[in-house]
Structure 1
C-alpha cells in the first residue's frame, strides 16, 4: 500500500512538539488540544496533497488513468472526486460491482456520483462469480445450522458484535435475523463457523478486485484503493480484496477526515449521511455494528490520542469517556492491531544469497 503523509497530521505533530517545548522542565499543558479540530484542520491543503500523490503514483507507474470501484459509500466518492479533479473525467473509469446481497442504494448512489462528475462507468454484477464458487449456498448452510428458524424467503441477516462502550471487551459474534426491518432474534456463532463465514464473505471483495484489474489492464490504468487510516490501523480490509490495489491515497486520513473531505469536495449529502458498511450481508450492516463497535468520532479520537501519545486526561476530555473505559479500548485496539498485522504486511520474499 502506498500511503501519503497528510498536512493535518504534520500540523498536529508540530502543535504537540510546540507544547512539549513550551512545557520543558514543567508539566505540559494540553488543555487546548481538541482532537476533532486537529483532524479537521487544513482540509483544503490535505485534498491538494492527496491529488499530488495520486498524480505522482499514476505517472510513476507510467499509466494513462485510474480505475476505481464505486460503492456508493463516502470513501469511494472522495477518492473518485479527487481522481477526477487531478486527471479529468476522461481518464477515470468507474465500476459498479453489485451482488445479490448488496443494498440497492449502493448501485443507485454509485451511478449518481459517476454521472455528476461526468465519469464513464459500467455495472458488472459479481453474483455469477460468487454463485459459481458456491459461496451463497455454503453461507446459508452455516446460518441454518446456527439459526434454526432462519428462512431465506422471509429473513435478512447480518453479522454483528457487541457494543464496546456498553459491553466492554466481550467479543462474541452474533448472526442477527431481521424480518420486515425489525430484528427478531440473535444467535451466537461458534468460532469455526465465524471463521468460515468471514472467509466466504471475503470472496466478494476479492471477486471485485479481479474485475477491477481486468478493466485496468485493458485500459492501461491503475487500480485506486479507498481504504482510510482508521480501516488500515484496524485491519478493516480484505487482503488481496479491497486491499489489493496499486495505490491507497486515503490511507493516512482517519474516517473523520474523510467526512471533512467529502464536505469540502461537495459530495452528495445522501452519500455523506449513509452509514459506512462493507455491504456484504442481505441486511445493510454498518461498520459501527461490526468493526468499530462504537461511534466513529469516538474511535478516531482514541486512535489519534494513542498515535500521538496524548495523556489519558486529554482523551477523557475529548471523548467524554471515563479513563477505565478508554484504557480498555486502547488495549482492545492494540489487540486488533496485533492480530491483523498479517493483513497489512507484504508477503515475505525469499532471495537466494549467492
Structure 2
C-alpha cells in the first residue's frame, strides 16, 4: 500500500464530501482504539471542525487513558480539534431499570453490549445535529464486510466511512504514518462494550491478521476442505461470522409489492 498517497486520498475525500454536504466538519467517537484514533486524525487533517467525543459506559481505565492521551495529542497538533465528554453510564443504568433482564445471561449481556453502542450512536448524532457535523464511522474492511463485528445502528450507524476499504493492518500503517500514540498502536483491539479488557480476538476466536487471510481466501472461492489445522479453524470462524452477520452488510430488505396488486 502507498501509505502516504492513500492517506491523502482519504483526507481529500473527507473534505470534499463535507464541503459538498455544506457541513462544518465531523464528530468522531474516540474509544482509545486505533480505528477511532486514525479516523479522528484523518478528519483533523482536512482543516475542518472536528469534535472528538468520549462516551464512557463503565469503561475500563486503560481505554479511557488511551482515549484521553490521543485527544490531548490531537488538540496540540490541530487547532481545529476540540473535545467533549458525555458520561452515558447513568443513562445506561437507568435503561436497565426499565427493561427486562430475564433470560440466558450471555444473551442478556450481548443485548446490553449492543445497547451501549446504540446509546453512543444517539449521542453522536445529537452533537452532529447541534453543530452541523457529519458522524464519521470508524469501521475497517474486516469488521464491516468480513465478520460484521459491529452493532447494527450502533457503531454501524454513521454518515460516512473513511477507512471501510482498509484492512486492519493497513489502518495500523496509516496510524503509524499519522503519528498516532504508541500506546494505541500497541494495544490489543477491543470493542469496549463489556466494561472490561476483553479483546476482539477473545470474542471472535481469531486475530485480525488471521481474519484478513480468511477474508482473502474466502473471496477467492476457497472452502474449509482446502485447509487443515489452525487455518481450517480460522476459516470456519470467519465463515460463521460472515454468514451470521450478512444482514448487516446488505441493504435493508424491502418487500416489493407486485404492480398487479397496486
TM-score (norm 1): 0.65
Tell me the CA shift for residue 135 of structure 1.
6.7
Q: CA RMSD in A?
A: 2.6
C-alpha distance in 2, partners of 1:136/1:284? 27
Q: For the residues of structure 2 that align with 1:330 and 1:276, how far apart are their CA atoms?
A: 20
Structure 1 gap segments, 5+ residues each: 1-40, 143-191, 316-321
Report whether the alignment pairs 1:70 with 2:27: no
C-alpha distance in 1, partners of 2:47/2:83? 16
Query: Shift of residue 70 of structure 1?
Result: 0.6
The SS at the match of 1:250 is coil
Structure 2: distance between partners of 1:81 and 1:95 = 13
How many residue pairs get aligned? The number is 252
With structure 2 as the length reference, what TM-score do the two structures score?
0.86
- Whether 1:99 and 2:57 are equivalent positions in the alignment is yes
Match among 253, 257, 262 for residue 348 of structure 1: 253
Once residues 236 and 311 of structure 1 are traced to their aligned partners in structure 2, the CA distance between those partners, rounded to angstroms, is: 22
- Give the Cα separation in 1 of the matches to 2:222 and 2:254: 37
Map of 2:72 onto structure 1 = 115
Residue 217 of structure 2, aligned match among 305, 323, 338: 305
Q: Is the 8 A contact 2:34 2:175 kept in 1?
A: yes
The answer on 1:249 being equivalent to 2:209 is: no
Q: What is the SS of the residue equivalent to 1:133?
A: helix
Indicate if the aligned counterparts of 1:44 and 1:264 stay in contact, CA closer than 8 A: yes
Mapped to 1, the partners of 2:250 and 2:223 lie a distance apart of 30
Structure 1 ranges of 4+ moved more than 6 A: 135-139
CA contact (8 A) 1:130 1:136 kept: no
- SS for the counterpart of 1:222 is strand
Note if 1:127 corresponds to 2:40: no
Q: Which residue of 2 aligns with 1:229?
A: 141
In 1, Cα distance between the equivalents of 2:237 and 2:69?
38
The match for 1:269 is 182
SS of equivalent to 1:93: strand
The DSSP-based 3-state class of the residue aligned with 2:27 is strand
The residue number in structure 1 matching 2:16 is 56
Query: Which structure would you say has the larger Rg?
Result: 1
